[in-house]
Structure 1
Amino acid sequence: LARRRYRQMRAALIILQAYRRYKVKSYIREVNRRFKNVQSMKDYGRHVKWPTPPKVLRKFEESLKSIHSRWWAWTLIKGLSPEETLQVRAKVACLEALKGQRADLGLQRGWEGNYLKRDSPDTASSFTLISSMLQRKDKFMRVLFSCNVRKINRFHKTENRAVLITDRHLYKMDPLRQYKPMKSIPLYNVTGMSISSGKDQLVVFHTKDSRDLVVCLQGMVPANESRFGELVGTLLSHFKSEKRKLQVNIASPIQCSMNGRKCTIIVEPKINQSQPDFTKSRSGYILNVPGN
C-alpha cells in the first residue's frame, strides 16, 4: 500500500512538473510570437499586449517588460540627431524635476533654446554680434538658453533685460543698448533655481555669493508660450552632463537673497495688468501678473 501511494505521489509530481514546464514554454512561445516583428512596427511594439504569465514567471515578466522598454527607448533615441538628443534629455530632466507640480512645462513643442533671435528680429543682428564677441572672449561651446526678461534688482528697480545662458556663463544684457553685457555669472557659481507653483514665468537663480538673480521671462513669440520648463530642464541636463548638482525648488513664496539680504517673492494676479511686473513689498517683492 505504501509503495503504491509512493508511486502515485511520484507520478503526480512528474505530471505537475511537466505541466509547469508546458506553461512556461507556452508563455515564452507566445511572447516570442507577439513580439517577433516589433522591430518593423511603427511604434516598435508599444501597442502589443503582453500575455498573462503563470504565477512562477511574474517577476520574469517584469524583467522582460523592463528589457523591452529600454530597447524601445534606445531604438527611438538612436535615430535622433545630436541636437534632438540634447532636447530629449532636457525634457526628461524637466519632467523628473517638475512632474505633478507644474502643468505648463512646454513638453509638446520643440525647444529651440536661443530665442532672442526669434523674439526680437529687429535687433537680432546686434545680439548675434555680441554673442559672437562673448564666445571669442569666454570660449563657450554652445548657447543653452536666451530670452527677454523683466528683472528686479536690490535697489528695487525693475528693468527690461535679456539673459543669455551658455555652457559656461549666465549673462545679463541690456536689449536697449545693443545687448550690452551688464553682468556675467559663471555657471559654477549657480547653485540652484526656484520657480513658483503658479502659472507664471518667474525664475530665481541662486548663487554661491548670495547675489540671486530674479527675473520673469517675457516677450515670448507667441505671447502665451511657457518657457520656464525648458530653462529648468536645459540647465538640469547640462549640470548633470558635467556631474554637478543643481537644486530646483518649487515654492510659493520663493525665498531668495539679494546681495546678502534675505527676502521673499510672491506672485499675485492683478486686474488690468497687461504685463508681469515687480513691486516692492514689506518682506521682499511681489510679481504682479495679468489676472482675469
Structure 2
Amino acid sequence: MTLQTVPGRHRSAQSFSVFSELTSVLGQAGLSGARVAATVGVAGGLMAAGSAIPANAAPAKASAVTAAAPAAAPAVAPAAVPAATKAYLTVTLRKGNSNYGQNKTLQRRLNALGAKLAVDGRFGPKTLAAVTKYQRSKGLVVDGIVGPKTRKALKLAKAGSAPAAASRSTSRTGINLARAAMWDRIAKCESGGRWSINTGNGYYGGLQFDYRTWLSVNGDDFAPRADKASRAEQITVANRLYAKRGLQPWGCRHAA
C-alpha cells in the first residue's frame, strides 16, 4: 500500500520503513533522540518528528549544548592597603614615667635592635638597662634618659621636627609665666639674673638647673640645657619643678 502523499512532503512507504529501521538501530546504539534525528536527517533528508529536513541540510550539531560561559568580570585592582603609621617618641622618657604608649614604642624599637623586653609600657630597670646599653654603643651620654639625641639615634624622632635646641625662637606651646617676679628674684640671687650663663660648674641658666634636673621635668621640650633656653622657657620649666618639689631645689629660695 502506498502512503497518501501530502503536498510538499513526498515520501514513499519504503522511505518511511528505512527511516524507522535507522531510528531503531541508532537508538539501540545509545544515541540521544536529538542525535538520532540529526543522523537520520543527514542520511536521507527524511522527515523527523513531523518536520521536513531537506536532504541538503547541514548536519546538526551534537545534542549536548554547552551554556555560554559568563563574561569574565572586569578586573578590579585591589584596594591599596594603607601603610602602617610609624610611631614616634614625642616626649622625653625616663625610668618610672607614666607615658605607657610611648614606652611601648621605645620597647618595640629596642627589641628590634636585639633587646628582649616585655612590651608592657613600663619604663623599669630592664628598659633602663637596654637604653643605657644602647646609648653606650652609640657614644651618647649614658644617662638612661631618652631625650632628643637618643630618640634621633633610635630613629624614633619624627622627620622634619625641629631639634629641641632650635625650638627656642619658635616654641611658645605650654609657656607658663606664673610667679615670674619670684623667679626673677631667685635668678638674681642664683646667677646675677643672667639667663644664658654657663660657668662650667655643672649648673646652667638663670635659675641654675643641673642637667638631670632640667631633663627630669622635660626641659628638653625647649633646649638640651637651661642656658640654651629663653627666660620664659626656663621659668616654665621652673614652674614644672615647683609643682613637684616646691622651692626645695633652689639654694636661693629665701629670695622668693
- Compute the TM-score of the two structures, normalised by the length of structure 1: 0.18
Structure with greater strand percent: 1
State the TM-score, normalizing by the size of structure 2.
0.20
Structure number with greater CO (CA < 8 Å, separation at least 6) is: 1
